[in-house]
Structure 1
Amino acid sequence: MNNYFRPRRSMLYVPGCNTRYLEKARSLPADSVILDLGDPILISAKETSRHNVVDAVKQGGYRASEVVIRVNDLESPWGYDDIKAVANIGADAILFSHIESRAGLLRALEALDQAGGHNMPVMVMIESPLAVLHAEAIASASDRIACLVMATSDLTSQLHAHTTRDRIPLLTSLSMVILAARAYNRAVVDGINSHFKDIESFEYACRLGRDMGFDGKSMIHPLQLTYANDAFTPKPSEVKTAREIISALSEANAAGRGTVVVNDRLVERHNIEAAERLLELSEMIAKLEEDHA
């Protein structure tokens, strides 16, 4: 586990221009809230949004949710001012957008450091074909990276692909980013479903993403929270099996055997590491849900 390991089953984007939404997010059971200053915010509302988000974070009240601020990219007129405004207000992480290379991320980190955000965790959006191709270089650039966040809506448009329920046009890109994240021990979260009222497709995407290896799902509407939290929560049967794996292999090792069969499945050392991670995640989720209750 890395230093930033925690549940990120659900990451809810909250537009900084809407104070009602910023307030509502305080009562929602999202593992992470992303207070958004980025592309969805109208140019005329950029500075107002920044002011709203700074006030919201300083006021606090987001309970157990991880508070992340997405800033505008450094090529925009607002990026550096965003970073200066949010570097030291108590957020848990800063989310950088439009990063397509190791050099781009290091430049963003330098700007954050210069604003006083030394050692602050960061997240990186992967939203373009070039970013996908450079995912390994980005993921390896700094141990301050807490999470890679897919921006699948942007990526779909840039691939000239179609949105399909089975997500076949995106599977190669998703897998490449998961590989990069896991190679460098980073969390990785799937992108949004733009059709937020199509709950059946959203739930399917959550379960597909979970099976591929994602830690959670980002979203744009509270209606989606329940489904993401459920899909990425270890089930009681999985927790039971994890405990059985740890116990059985421990006994086998003590008897001089390196493997053991549990529920008709061969268990080796790598299965122990996965089981221990699942149990720790399950305990963290239970505590998180208790804090949200």
Structure 2
Amino acid sequence: MNDDLRPRRSVLYMPAANDRALEKAKTIPADAIIFDLEDAVAPDAKPDARVAAVAAVRSGEYGSRELTIRCNGLDTAWGAADVAAAGAAGPSAVVIPKVDSVDMVNDVAALLDEAGAPSTTTIWPMIETPAAIFDVRGIAGHPRVAVLIMGTNDLAKELRSPIVPGRHPLVPHLATSLLAAREAGKVIIDGVYNDVTDADGFLAECVQGMEMGFDGKTLIHPSQVEPCNETWAPSADEIEYAGRVIDAFDEGVAAGKGVVTVDGRMIENLHVDNARRVLAVAAAIDALG
């Protein structure tokens, strides 16, 4: 599957130190799982969590879900060992917190190579500091980087800004990161929503992220998966309209027409490209089973 089309609507953090959570993740319909060794794991539990995350990746028991491991930062006592162990296990990606520069991505890539990680194991840097925002074009352009993840909680902390409905303090930095991802042809995932009891607020933030152009959202609770998947999936009406756009355009070209309209709207190549992407995304979601 084209990596750009691989569904990453719902990317769920699961604490690798929690055996029940690892078992539960096998049944949750998230597109991707991040086995977390960082924030969700106490210091004395980190070595065992690393072993559990590696075993989960190697188990073959998670179906079509994309499996990644979030390592501790390279500036911690566990980071380098996390990357080495994860690389040897060969997950889809290692998720790296607080990536401030291209140099840090290079360091992670070198550790993966030393561990014998397959070339298919990519790096998902977390963009969550002012330094990362200033170097986000370089980070996104690194050949080992496949996905950017917004770390909105830490970014808000660094900026000394509150997390408020609509996220207006963060919007400029979200947009900058989106531009960098699109320039580099990479996927970008929105940050988490903290209040798992606020379904309406969560859905509003999903819609905001989708409308901005994010490819999906990181999640902290299984209850957030289904509304997230629905938000980032083409609706039946969108799929039907996309099919009509393509059919009308093809018929117009065959008839030598210079202008084609659908529902009173003029259709150009860019609209056809958008329609084809809608159908391709829908097909990729269906292929997950």
For 2:211 and 2:252, locate their aligned partners in 1 and report how far apart those are by CA, in whole Å: 29
Q: How does 1:1-293 map to 2 (within 5 A)?
A: 3=3, 5-119=5-119, 120-142=121-143, 144-288=144-288, 290=289
For 2:3 and 2:204, locate their aligned partners in 1 and report how far apart those are by CA, in whole Å: 30
Compared CA separation, residues 22 and 258, structure 1 to 2 (3 A):
farther
For 1:105 and 1:2, locate their aligned partners in 2 and report how far apart those are by CA, in whole Å: 23
The question of whether the paired residues in 1 share the 8 Å contact of 2:90 and 2:117 is answered with no
For 1:69 and 1:164, locate their aligned partners in 2 and report how far apart those are by CA, in whole Å: 29
Aligned-pair CA distance for 1:122: 2.0
- CA deviations on 1:178-207 (whole Å, 9 max, x unpaired) are 111111111111000111111111010001
TM-score by length of 2: 0.95
TM-score by length of 1: 0.93
> 2:138 is matched by which residue type in structure 1?
A
For 2:76 and 2:136, locate their aligned partners in 1 and report how far apart those are by CA, in whole Å: 22
Aligned-pair CA distance for 1:281: 0.8
For 2:9 and 2:20, locate their aligned partners in 1 and report how far apart those are by CA, in whole Å: 24
Structure 1 stretch displaced more, 257-266 or 93-102: 257-266
- CA deviations on 1:99-142 (whole Å, 9 max, x unpaired) are 11112111211111111114122211111122122111111111
Number of aligned residue pairs: give it: 288
RMSD: 1.6
Compared CA separation, residues 259 and 113, structure 1 to 2 (3 A):
farther
Structure 1 stretch displaced more, 198-207 or 261-270: 261-270
- Find runs of 4+ consecutive structure 1 residues off by over 6 angstroms: none
For residue 195 of structure 1, give the secondary structure of its aligned residue in structure 2: coil
Structure 1 stretch displaced more, 278-287 or 88-97: 88-97
The question of whether the paired residues in 2 share the 8 Å contact of 1:258 and 1:268 is answered with no
Aligned-pair CA distance for 1:90: 3.9
For 1:122 and 1:81, locate their aligned partners in 2 and report how far apart those are by CA, in whole Å: 16
> 2:136 is matched by which residue type in structure 1?
A
Q: Which runs of 5+ in 2 are unaligned?
A: none
The question of whether the paired residues in 2 share the 8 Å contact of 1:73 and 1:97 is answered with yes
Structure 1 stretch displaced more, 5-14 or 117-126: 117-126
Q: Which runs of 5+ in 1 are unaligned?
A: none
For 1:42 and 1:197, locate their aligned partners in 2 and report how far apart those are by CA, in whole Å: 24
For 1:85 and 1:138, locate their aligned partners in 2 and report how far apart those are by CA, in whole Å: 23
For 1:259 and 1:178, locate their aligned partners in 2 and report how far apart those are by CA, in whole Å: 32
